[in-house]
Structure 1
Amino acid sequence: MKLKGLVWFFTIALALISLWELSYTWVIRSHEKKVRAQAERLVKPLTTNLSPEAKEALIEAKTQRILDSTKDESIFPIVGTSYQKCKENELNLGLDLQGGMSVTMDVSLEGLLKSLSNNPKDQALQKALASARAEKQKSETDFITLFADNYIKQNGTGKLSGLFAGPGKDIKISDNDNAVINKIKTVAKGAINQTYKILVKRIDKFGVAQPNINLDENKGVINVELAGIKDPERVRKVLQSSANLQFWEVYRLDELDQALVNADKSLQNYLNGISAGDTTALKDSALAAKNANPFLSIINPIQPQADANGRPYYSPNIGAVALKDTGLFYSYINNDVVKNALPSNAKFVFGLEEKAAKGNARFLPLYILKTIPGSEKAPLEGDGVDEARQDYDQYGKPAIKMQMTGTGSKTWARLTTKNVGRPIAIVLDDIVYSAPNVNGPIEGGSSEISGNFTVEEAQDLANILKSGKLDAPAKIVAEQVVGPTLGKDAVRGDAMSFLISFAVIFILMLIYYNTAGWVANTALILNLLFTVGILTAMGLTLTAAGIAGLVLTIGLAVDTNVIIFERIKDELRAGKTYQQAVSDGYNRSLPPVIDAHVTSLLTAIILVYFGLGPVLGFATTQIIGILLSLFCGILVSRLVTDIFTNKNRHLKYSTKLSENIFKNANFKFLEKRKIAYVLSTIVCLLGVAS
């Protein structure tokens, strides 16, 4: 056998890679089992009088709390990989195997077109939108093109610019139809991407370890898979809600310094079991040390720095919370002893995730907003923004130019006048994206936000500011909910079918091919190990359909060895030596084996290209399995055979049972071909009719 060393190299490399990738799954399962057992022990005193459902919910919540608070701790033996990293590298199971929710969302651009137009109630606009909406149901063309085609068809060419052009707008009255369409598509693309980013941020709040979110930018469709979700109604509500852009005043550290100290002291006494007004000193020094400064140690207050003039400068965010401590932080701020120590209008929100200057620690900037008592609205809402775009400041650095509406301009003037020298937080869905400092009152509604932005960051912030103006909501158009019980049943059923098929073929190969069956079974085991290992390494998801693909792969892998072994038996019957029979058997089996695999591979590639959902999962697994079947069935099995041959130990390719079972067989296939034609035609017609 040529290139034997290369085959050894790839076999060992694939084995090590597969075992390494699958080890993450084993570590995760083991760790989560231990954490659940710990959670059950901790909540046991609280579940005496609870129903089974309430008890299970309490255990799940406690388990998740422990996992969240320890996500950055090392759990992998020796290597020391954190839980979060292991979770990201484990074998992904589809919704049909672990339960969850799958939704398809359509990003509606009707509101966007209305907001860009000069008159949203224009009859010609409404008519073209209605026509485009009807055509969209049966067309793959993007909505903007459908709208433009219908508008031009109904109103004639050269009329689009009159509908969308205006002072301060990108679209000019002199633009032709193609220029208008291209500019609208650019805005639509930004709106779709912004909607996608907003959805990603919202999905992060569900705590799903490995959400699958795919955006088809041309069609304006977003597919979301959330494995393990137990509250579908909450998912529907959160995903379909409108983007909530707000401008808030913020508290500085010097304004809440004493309140934060009081909250910290009250929380410390609460954790130590000391009631309010109790002046008795805590005798347990270990407990006192453990609970020292619990609140301040979590929020890590940022002390003021001196500016160029020596005056104290306070950061817009009062502190930063480590990502691993967010669960503990929320439990603290929802505690009444902390709430009572802080102003009633103080609202805690996080900014965008940041990474520590040294090490791998991740933090979330913490802001405290000044809310309006009795109202959920901010001093200025997102609908006050008329236009925002990425531009450059007087020094040539990336900046954001923002124009307010008439009403928004007045509110913005009052808000900036009140907060000169202070930051104003720009908040989208309770996440602070920026908190620029107000240099002076802003009259007229035209503003510039400058800072150390990259062009991309400035573009992102401009899109965020436009999210209150551009109406491109995502609506659920299709959904599938799989309960956890059904998921467990699916896993059990699929695993059983897989194990039975594997066991039957494994035993059959030994009964029929004697010691040569061990060669086939070795190739089979390696094929399955490599397939699952590569699925894990590539971050692909194993579904019920994927398991069906694995079962089919078992058949293909064995079929390769069956063809080779039968050819070797023919060569031995022809009187050739063992070595020559093996060599000729493998060489002459190659064409039919490759033909069968290439045919299956082409079919699988077509399924991958056109298929979605279960079909895609099946085809992906099949492609990997087919390629590895060729490698294991031809090269690895030949490698194992050569090991025996080099030691002068000949494999047996039949047993007494298999020698006699087809010895006098005489199947007249060609004589019965007309019957086969008739039966095939009937089956095909029945399939078409159904």
Structure 2
Amino acid sequence: MLQIDTWKRVLIWLVVAFGIVFAAPNLFYDRVERHNDAATAIEREGETEERTAALGAWPSWLPSTIINLGLDLRGGAHLLAEVQVEDVYDARLEALWPEVRDTLRPLRDSVGTIRLQDGTPGELRVTLGNPDGMGQALSAVRELAQPVASVASAGASDIEVSGEGDTLVVRLSEAEQRATDDRTLRQALEIIRRRIDEVGTREPTIQRQGEDRILIQVPGIGSAAELKDIIGTTAQLTFQPVVGRGVAESTDPGIGNEVVPALDDEGVFYELERAPVVTGEELVDAQPAFDQNGNPAVNFRFNAQGARAFGEYTAENIGNPFAIVLDNEVISAPVIQSHIPGGSGIITGQFTVEESTQLAVLLRAGALPAGLTFLEERTIGPELGQDSIEAGQIATMVAFALVLVFMFACYGLFGLFANIALIINVALLFGILSVIGATLTLPGIAGIVLTVGMAVDANVLIFERIREELKTARGPARAIERGYEKALSAIVDANITTIITAIILFAMGSGPVRGFALTLGFGIITSVFTAIFVTRLFVTMWFERTRPKTITV
């Protein structure tokens, strides 16, 4: 008998209502977007009259989730950056020098004087006063080697130690370089993502390309230059001992030292020890603040390891200056007045409020492990994005209209039921995409157009099967019921293969391909639901009300 249980009817109507309610905010996109932006700004920076007015653009009791528009629809910035992984090799070897020095000091009777050589990229070269002690030196330094932190290079050592005459040479092993490259790219990806998220942009695309490149696409941002300002600064913060201060750049800072310019005093240079006391990697928090004179500053706090190192250094160097260095510029060089045990402090300088806020964002997001070289940069204007939206809308409406006309012309009243279900199908699809925060791109619109075309396939199978059953079944009710039953296997088989294809595209593809796969996959799910349940509910309600003796499909 053609019937649907009450609880099933209620459940179907609840799902339909869900789709309509959560898809509705997309019809008022600008208003809802202003409301969401104002809510975020109030949460982060406080309430103002303008933000309160924007917050009222959309009722707070209604859903405010909308589909994010991709770069090709909204406009924005596109960057292709190359990570200078070689910088990390040199930094690793520089950080290794204090350990090598401390290891060789007890062997001075055998190796003689120890002197660090400068100017050899990718190598740490140490000259020994007595070459006869090279064997002991090599054995001692090789004990500093650690296993490579990579499953692919299990058992390999991170450094290679060799001797060249009176010079001990330390290099990173090939296995360690590969592991370092991978870690550097992963860290850079995460830090870039955090920096972009900090400024509140929507749904950026940040992907690794090849061995040392990163693709960055951010919708809604003004220009590629603005995006570079956010992510291009490495924000490498170090606290280094001060050796001296002068008004001219020294050509010979001495072994293990470097000359760094002052940020605020033009022509002033500091001679610093190259090995830092603490680095920005030990930072756990940084917030914009004001110093005791009311000038903008940045409060910072170290983790336990950084706090311990910072506390020990300040306890042993009271009365001596130390430099706070950001991206190879001394932003402050205060004198240590007392022991600082808490691992927290304040960075002062000639900042504006915006500069202190931006510095806090960069430090909180973390330091990029290496510099970036921008190989490609492109700005997509909002006008081009608007043209794409209009073209996509026209394509969708034309496809939608043709499908509606075809279904009604071929199947009459049953085609009308299918058309109503098709509208509900699109609402469900937009509702799901809004709830999960999906990003809609031009290929995504193509997926929606394809979904509209495929949405009626299941109904065509059902209606054609009902036509066949009308020739043999006992009465129209039995024909409709058997039509749905016998068409179900074909519908499931056909759509499962399409969903598998969408899953593979989403897993293996990137960017626009994933956008197409997402809309196609969810479109198949909503299409099957509306064909099997919604149209059947419409047909059942119509049949219960009219009780026709014969039907025409």
Q: 1:32 to 1:630 in 2, by over 3 A?
A: closer
Residues 196 and 215, structure 1, Cα contact 8 Å, conserved in 2: no
Residues 115 and 471, structure 1, Cα contact 8 Å, conserved in 2: no
1:255 matched residue in structure 2: none
How many pairs were matched up?
428
1:63 matched residue in structure 2: none
1:291 matched residue in structure 2: none
Q: 1:376 to 1:196 in 2, by over 3 A?
A: farther
**Alpha-carbon separation, structure 1, partners of 2:8 and 2:328:** 54
Q: 1:247 to 1:544 in 2, by over 3 A?
A: same
**Alpha-carbon separation, structure 2, partners of 1:562 and 1:641:** 14
Name the aligned partner's letter for residue 159 of structure 2: L
**Alpha-carbon separation, structure 2, partners of 1:521 and 1:212:** 36
Superimposed CA distance per residue, residues 185-216 of structure 1 (whole angstroms, 9 cap, x where no aligned partner)? 589747853674366336745xx641415465
Counterparts of residues 276-675 of structure 1 (less than 5 Å)? 374-375=265-266, 385=276, 387-388=278-279, 398-401=304-307, 414-415=320-321, 440-441=337-338, 449-450=342-343, 471-477=369-375, 481-574=379-472, 576-650=474-548, 652-654=551-553
Q: 1:197 to 1:625 in 2, by over 3 A?
A: same
Residues 189 and 214, structure 2, Cα contact 8 Å, conserved in 1: no
Q: 1:630 to 1:578 in 2, by over 3 A?
A: same
2:221 matched residue in structure 1: 229
TM-score by length of structure 2 reads: 0.62
**Alpha-carbon separation, structure 1, partners of 2:33 and 2:227:** 24
Q: 1:23 to 1:594 in 2, by over 3 A?
A: closer
Q: 1:624 to 1:576 in 2, by over 3 A?
A: same
Name the aligned partner's letter for residue 533 of structure 1: G
The answer for unaligned runs of 5 or more in structure 2 is: 36-46, 95-116, 125-147, 163-169, 241-261, 284-302, 346-359
SS across alignment from 1:224: strand
1:197 matched residue in structure 2: 191
Q: 2:51 aligns with which of 37, 55, 70?
A: 70
Superimposed CA distance per residue, residues 106-126 of structure 1 (whole angstroms, 9 cap, x where no aligned partner)? 433221012112588558769
1:13 matched residue in structure 2: 14
1:129 matched residue in structure 2: none
1:239 matched residue in structure 2: 231
Residues 192 and 220, structure 1, Cα contact 8 Å, conserved in 2: no
Q: 1:652 to 1:227 in 2, by over 3 A?
A: farther
1:30 matched residue in structure 2: 31
**Alpha-carbon separation, structure 2, partners of 1:488 and 1:70:** 26
Superimposed CA distance per residue, residues 537-558 of structure 1 (whole angstroms, 9 cap, x where no aligned partner)? 0011111111111111112210
Name the aligned partner's letter for residue 72 of structure 2: D
Superimposed CA distance per residue, residues 248-307 of structure 1 (whole angstroms, 9 cap, x where no aligned partner)? 9xxxxxxxxxxxxxxxxxxxxxxxxxxxxxxxxxxxxxxxxxxxxxxxxxxxxxxxxxxx
SS across alignment from 1:229: coil
Residues 318 and 336, structure 2, Cα contact 8 Å, conserved in 1: no
Residues 235 and 327, structure 2, Cα contact 8 Å, conserved in 1: yes
**Alpha-carbon separation, structure 1, partners of 2:29 and 2:382:** 19
1:162 matched residue in structure 2: 161
**Alpha-carbon separation, structure 2, partners of 1:429 and 1:647:** 81
Residues 107 and 192, structure 1, Cα contact 8 Å, conserved in 2: no
* Cα shift at 1:648: 3.1
Q: 1:607 to 1:513 in 2, by over 3 A?
A: same
Name the aligned partner's letter for residue 627 of structure 1: I
**Alpha-carbon separation, structure 1, partners of 2:121 and 2:408:** 77
Q: 1:244 to 1:514 in 2, by over 3 A?
A: same
2:87 matched residue in structure 1: 111
* Cα shift at 1:572: 1.0
Superimposed CA distance per residue, residues 618-645 of structure 1 (whole angstroms, 9 cap, x where no aligned partner)? 1110000111111111111111111112
Name the aligned partner's letter for residue 115 of structure 1: A
492-501 or 234-243, larger mean C-alpha shift? 234-243
Q: 1:538 to 1:588 in 2, by over 3 A?
A: same
Name the aligned partner's letter for residue 224 of structure 1: I
Name the aligned partner's letter for residue 103 of structure 1: L
* Cα shift at 1:400: 1.5
* Cα shift at 1:75: 1.8
Superimposed CA distance per residue, residues 122-171 of structure 1 (whole angstroms, 9 cap, x where no aligned partner)? 58769xxxxxxxxxxxxxxxx9989989xx9xxxx7682538xxxxxxxx
2:60 matched residue in structure 1: 79
2:73 matched residue in structure 1: 97
Superimposed CA distance per residue, residues 572-594 of structure 1 (whole angstroms, 9 cap, x where no aligned partner)? 12353100100111111112111
Name the aligned partner's letter for residue 514 of structure 1: G
SS across alignment from 1:534: helix
Higher strand share: 2
SS across alignment from 1:103: strand
**Alpha-carbon separation, structure 2, partners of 1:159 and 1:425:** 30
Residues 159 and 173, structure 2, Cα contact 8 Å, conserved in 1: yes
Q: 1:162 to 1:16 in 2, by over 3 A?
A: farther
The answer for unaligned runs of 5 or more in structure 1 is: 35-65, 127-142, 164-172, 249-370, 392-396, 417-423, 453-460, 655-690
**Alpha-carbon separation, structure 1, partners of 2:268 and 2:26:** 45
Residues 505 and 514, structure 2, Cα contact 8 Å, conserved in 1: yes
Name the aligned partner's letter for residue 481 of structure 2: S
Residues 31 and 57, structure 2, Cα contact 8 Å, conserved in 1: no
What is the RMSD computed on CA atoms of the aligned residues? 5.2
Q: 1:390 to 1:78 in 2, by over 3 A?
A: closer
SS across alignment from 1:576: coil
Name the aligned partner's letter for residue 14 of structure 1: V
Identity of aligned residues (%): 22
2:286 matched residue in structure 1: none
**Alpha-carbon separation, structure 2, partners of 1:189 and 1:158:** 16
1:292 matched residue in structure 2: none
Q: 1:10 to 1:209 in 2, by over 3 A?
A: farther
